[in-house]
Amino acid sequence: MSPSTKDALLIALLRACAVAAAAVVVLIVAFVARDSWPALRDIGIVRFLSDDWSPTGADPGFGIMPMLVATLVTSAGAITLATPLGIASAVFAHFYAPRGLAVLLRRVMELLAGIPSVVYGLWGLVVLVPLLLRFAPPGQSVLAGTLVLTVMILPTVALMADVALAAVPAPTLQAAHALALPRHAIALKVAVPAARSGIVTGIVLAAGRAVGETMAVLMVCGNVVKLPTSVFDPVRTLTANIALEMGYALADHRAALFVSGLCLLLMWMALASTAGLVRGGRHA
Amino acid sequence: MPSALRAGFRRGDGLLGLVVWGVAIATLGLFSWVVGDVGLRGVSELSIAFLRESPADAGRAGGIAPILVSTGLILLVCLTAAIPIGVGAAALLAEFTRTDGALGRTVRVSLDVLSGVPSIVFGLFGNVFFCVTLGLGFSIVSGGLTLACMVLPLVIRATEEGFRSVPDEIRQGAAALGFSRASTFAKLLLPAALPGLGVGLALGIGRALAETAALLFTSGYVDRMPTSLSDSGRALSIHIYDLAMNVTGGEPRACATALVLVAVLVTANMAAASLTTRASSASGIR
């Protein structure tokens, strides 16, 4: 084989790998949409928003509204809590911490980011829920879910904010120092605004993680299909619903679960495109 | 900075200092609370026998040997599928296509989207595609391939960085010596990009071991020792979930299993950190 045929072969092979990798997400959308289609066609979007959820009854209902609300409420709560904490932790690491402590905090955040969601769920179930139970029964609740999600996404917000602050150009900070601005003003009025886009990207990634999280919320939210009226009410999220019912779901019920999956997929895509995350050449 | 100025700075920022110190200490405390509490509940259950025996009484007694084996096999399938495709795609992106070309952009956008797809959606996809459409059933292969889809973006991104950190002098030198692109790639670029692949692998292994939701409907729940890759096999993470939620009195064993899982993950994490350091110092040659 001549060297140029070899080159052509190699490039063809690598191209096939790249196309295969790119095809995965297309396959996911295609298959989830295909298996949702019977439900979207026969049941219709309106009933998904207005029905009760009683997919196995004689007169089955397929309303996913309570679960959609549960997903949005727990995620929004977690983002609201994790954003200031994450930014504060990054500001600490850059402007306040002794060097050793900043490194330690970063390592701990990386470790926290790597802890499996099922372990957070287990911690929530055996530690947090019994604690909440003492103050506001039943313990398994919106609040428990929000708190566990906060702990889970905090490292994402903190680490992304940390990277964004590190990327603030040195002259910007030197100019602020030259003006003899106090440290808190440099941190909050100069560095954080300059790092805004990176920080927002981190928050969006964290939101995606919170919306898509299954195990942790499944283990601490109580899984009752009902619109919550207070943060102490148990709820079931879209993800938990799929995990709980996919094992025995048939026909329209199964298709309805795929519709929930499609919803989650669309929510993530919307989040990703708002952050301008999906721009292609950003590695350039 | 003169110390007088420093002192001036300090007076102004007491409040923010208090807040960020508080948050940092709370974060460190939280980490110790999560890991410590689960660890303390689990550590008394740990023993050599726990690692070597099969579960009995729905997991309340016995050990986790078959679960360790299943987890290892799922990981093996995952890496066997993800490494060649990942390295190939990364090589194309870094070496053989223009960064702003149509193919490069398309692949990057799809990987960016893929990296955030919720794991339960991977589970749905794995179930309909691998288990049903390809007829692999509830099996270690189905679970491993589903996880391979999930870790591809991590492996590709890190390996691509690996290729990009190879200095151009190597490519120019090879071209000057009349090497073909294929042999430059196989003999020079690929070995030099290995630290990047190592980082990607460590991250991918971490993500794969941590995954639960994507395995629920792909590799299944069976806690017997697997005899082939087409058997259903229960991963460590699923075992934790099952013991905690479905087995009354399973909590101590769930915590012990979690301790084992976290120990494995911390090892993978430290490997990734040391490889990243090495990879970035290697790229420092440039």
Mean pLDDT over residues A60-70, rounded?
87
pLDDT at B279: 63
- Cα maximum dimension of chain B: 74
Q: Exposed/middle/buried for B168, CB within 10 Å: 0-12, 13-18, 19+? A: exposed
Beta-carbon contacts below 8 Å between A and B: 307
Q: Is A222 helix (H, G, I), strand (E, B) or coil?
A: strand
Check CB contact under 8 Å for A85 and B41: no
| A166: contact with B, CB 8 A cutoff | no
Q: Do residues A145 and A235 lie in contact, with contact meaning Cβ atoms separated by under 8 Å?
A: yes
Mean pLDDT over residues B104-116, rounded?
90
pLDDT at A65: 87
| A261: contact with B, CB 8 A cutoff | yes
pLDDT digits (tens, 9 = 90+) for B125-147: 999 999 999 999 899 999 999 99
Identify residue A19 by its one-letter amino acid code: V
Nearest to B233 by CA among B128, B143, B148, B124: B143
Angle at which helix A238-245 crosses helix A251-274, to 10 degrees, equals 150
pLDDT digits (tens, 9 = 90+) for B194-245: 888 888 888 899 899 999 999 999 998 888 888 888 888 899 999 999 999 8
Q: Which residue of B has its CA nearest to A151?
A: B30
In chain A, what residues touch B262 (CB-CB under 8 Å)? 115-116, 119
| B267: contact with A, CB 8 A cutoff | no
pLDDT digits (tens, 9 = 90+) for A78-94: 999 999 999 999 999 88
Give the residue, A69 or A274, on which the prediction is more confident: A69
Residue showing tokens 């590190």: A166
pLDDT digits (tens, 9 = 90+) for A17-34: 999 999 999 999 999 999
Q: How far out from the chain centre does Cα A253 lie?
A: 26
At residue A52, does pLDDT exceed 90?
A: no
Check CB contact under 8 Å for B16 and A188: yes
Mean pLDDT over residues A134-162, rounded?
90
pLDDT digits (tens, 9 = 90+) for B141-199: 999 999 999 999 999 999 999 999 888 898 899 989 988 888 888 888 988 888 888 88
Q: Which residue of A has its CA nearest to B178?
A: A3
Identify residue B90 by its one-letter amino acid code: A
| A151: contact with B, CB 8 A cutoff | yes
Check CB contact under 8 Å for B118 and A239: yes
| DSSP letter for each residue of B4-25 | HHHHHHHHHTHHHHHHHHHHHH
Check CB contact under 8 Å for B107 and A21: yes
Nearest to A110 among B91, B104, B269 (CB): B269
Structure tokens at B91: 């090589």
Q: Any residues with CB less than 8 A from the CB of B87 and at least 6 apart, and which?
A: A17, B155, B159, B190, B197
Q: Do residues B209 and B87 lie in contact, with contact meaning Cβ atoms separated by under 8 Å?
A: no
At residue B286, does pLDDT exceed 60?
A: no
pLDDT at B12: 54
pLDDT at A281: 37
At residue B11, does pLDDT exceed 60?
A: no
Check CB contact under 8 Å for A123 and B86: no
At residue B17, does pLDDT exceed 60?
A: yes
At residue B14, does pLDDT exceed 80?
A: no
Q: Cα(A46)–Cα(A10) distance, rounded to whole angstroms?
A: 52
When pLDDT is cut at 50, 70 and 90, the band that residue A282 belongs to is: very low
Nearest to B210 among A114, A258, A282 (CB): A114
Half-sphere exposure of A154 (CA within 13 A, CB side): 29
Give the residue, B119 or B279, on which the prediction is more confident: B119
Length of chain A: 284
Q: Cα(B102)–Cα(A191) distance, rounded to whole angstroms?
A: 36
Q: Cα(B226)–Cα(B210) distance, rounded to whole angstroms?
A: 20
Q: Which residue of A has its CA nearest to B108?
A: A280
Whole-angstrom distance between the N-terminal and C-terminal Cα of chain A? Answer: 35
Q: Any residues with CB less than 8 A from the CB of B102 and at least 6 apart, and which?
A: none
Half-sphere exposure of A62 (CA within 13 A, CB side): 23
In chain B, what residues touch A108 (CB-CB under 8 Å)? 27-28, 31
Q: Which residue of B has its CA nearest to A273?
A: B113
